Amino acid sequence: MPSTARATSLTRRGLLAAGGALGLGAALAACGGGDEKGKDGGAAPASAKSGPWEFKDDRGTLVSAKAVPKNIVAFTGTAAALKDFGVEVTGVFGPTYVEDPKTKEKKPDVQAGDLDIAKVKVIGNVWGEFNIEEYLKLQPEVLITDMWEQNALWYVPEEQKDKILKIAPSVALWAAGKSMPAVLQRHADLAASLGADVRSAKVKEDKARFEAAAERLRKVAQGKKDIKVLIGSGAPDTFYVSTPVRPTDTLFFQELGITLVVPDKLDPTGWFELLSWENVDKYKADVILLDNRTGTLQPEQLKAKPTWAALPAVKAGQVFPRVTEPVYSYAKCAPLLEDLATALENAKKVS
């Protein structure tokens, strides 16, 4: 879901839409491109590796090109998903690496999946960072990203969007409001349109693993109805309790029968309830799934919060990492279900 630190920014920027560009001169004219809306949608067959290409994205926009795009620039997590399906990208934007302040060594961010961060051009690594000049140099044929709010392109800065969307067509896929299997299928559809063999033995194996993990989790949930699971994220001054009705993973968890804490007083974004650390015990929970993203407080850091340490789930050692922004491939989502099943199998009622 939107980062706790970024939720306000997402709300302020509202709905993104392609509009009149501020102008980048001849460079923009040379790159050209734009999105066209149409009634007919769906992905082109995987075998269509040459000739016209089109794909109807989750905005309802029919995106087209004279040939299947090869120079692809994508949000990091989306790029990682495409790689698992067999599609390589040229450049990425979004959390890609974490740099050691002393050695300057760059290690892949959790959202980078199996991307080789040394081989892709990173044109932005943090919220609000998108280097248009470097983007132009890549000669992008399509820009691909997530969508957490209708028509809002994830990690495409609001103040630069008109310029960015003028350079190349854009594709947006839902990362919220739909259950995980549906979102995974859409990523597979996109990969197929870009020439990936989504019926390969590897993808079939990954999908079978995902489906087996889902069935395992369903069976575990049936025997753990009394275990309450809270979805949370820590910041220095605030603990965010997430609603389970919007993220793709928690929607799926609910469908599988897991008992999730539902906050009753959401903030204006509709994603969280914000609790002070003094009131962090408002909701009874036996298990806490804690946001694992870079920039959020992790268990070691939270030890300094006395009220956190006093929570029953914390005292029982029943706090587990949550991949809040999943890489939407079967290969990456199957372990999420397996890990949660293991956690619940061993969880005890403590609240």
Residue-wise pLDDT tens digits, 284-341: 999 999 999 878 999 999 999 999 999 999 999 999 999 999 999 999 999 999 999 9
* Per-residue pLDDT at 12: 30
- Residue that wins the pLDDT comparison between 239 and 10: 239
Are the C-beta atoms of residues 93 and 155 closer than 8 Å to each other?
yes
Rounded Cα distance between 16 and 280, Å, is 34
Residue for token pair 């890609």: 96
**Contacting residues for 317 by C-beta, under 8 A, at least 6 apart:** none
- Give 198-220 pLDDT, tens digit per residue: 999 999 999 999 999 999 999 99
The whole-angstrom distance between residue 250's C-alpha and the CA centroid of its chain comes to 13
Rounded Cα distance between 63 and 65, Å, is 7
In this structure, the strands spanning 142-149 and 72-75 are: parallel
Q: Would you place residue 49 in the very low, low, confident or very high pLDDT band (cuts 50, 70, 90)? A: low
- Give 144-171 pLDDT, tens digit per residue: 999 999 999 999 999 999 999 999 999 9
Residue 322 pairs in a beta bridge with 291
Rounded Cα distance between 82 and 199, Å, is 14
* Per-residue pLDDT at 2: 59
Are the C-beta atoms of residues 210 and 339 closer than 8 Å to each other?
no
* Per-residue pLDDT at 295: 83
Are the C-beta atoms of residues 227 and 257 closer than 8 Å to each other?
no
Rounded Cα distance between 209 and 229, Å, is 24
Rounded Cα distance between 275 and 4, Å, is 12
Q: How big is the chain, counted in residues?
A: 351
**Contacting residues for 233 by C-beta, under 8 A, at least 6 apart:** 4, 239, 240, 242, 272, 290, 291, 296, 324
Query: Which stretches of the chain are assigned E, i.e. beta strand?
Result: 36-37, 53-56, 61-65, 72-75, 91-93, 97-99, 106-108, 121-124, 142-149, 152-153, 170-174, 228-234, 239-242, 259-260, 272-275, 287-291, 319-322
* Per-residue pLDDT at 51: 75
- Residue that wins the pLDDT comparison between 228 and 100: 228
* Per-residue pLDDT at 8: 38
Tokens linked to 213: 């993990």
Among candidate residues 330, 264, 307, 258, the one with its CA nearest the CA of residue 287: 258
Are the C-beta atoms of residues 179 and 249 closer than 8 Å to each other?
no
Sign of CA dihedral 258, 243, 149, 296: negative
- Residue that wins the pLDDT comparison between 14 and 7: 7
Q: What percent of the chain has pLDDT over 90?
A: 81
* Per-residue pLDDT at 307: 97
Average pLDDT across the chain, whole number: 87
Helices H, strands E: what count in the chain?
12, 17
The residue-averaged pLDDT of 263-278 equals 93
Give the DSSP H or E segment for 264: none
Q: DSSP code of 267?
A: -
- Give 210-257 pLDDT, tens digit per residue: 999 999 999 999 999 999 999 999 999 999 999 999 999 999 999 999
* Per-residue pLDDT at 162: 95
Rounded Cα distance between 112 and 103, Å, is 20
Tokens linked to 132: 């248009």
* Per-residue pLDDT at 32: 37
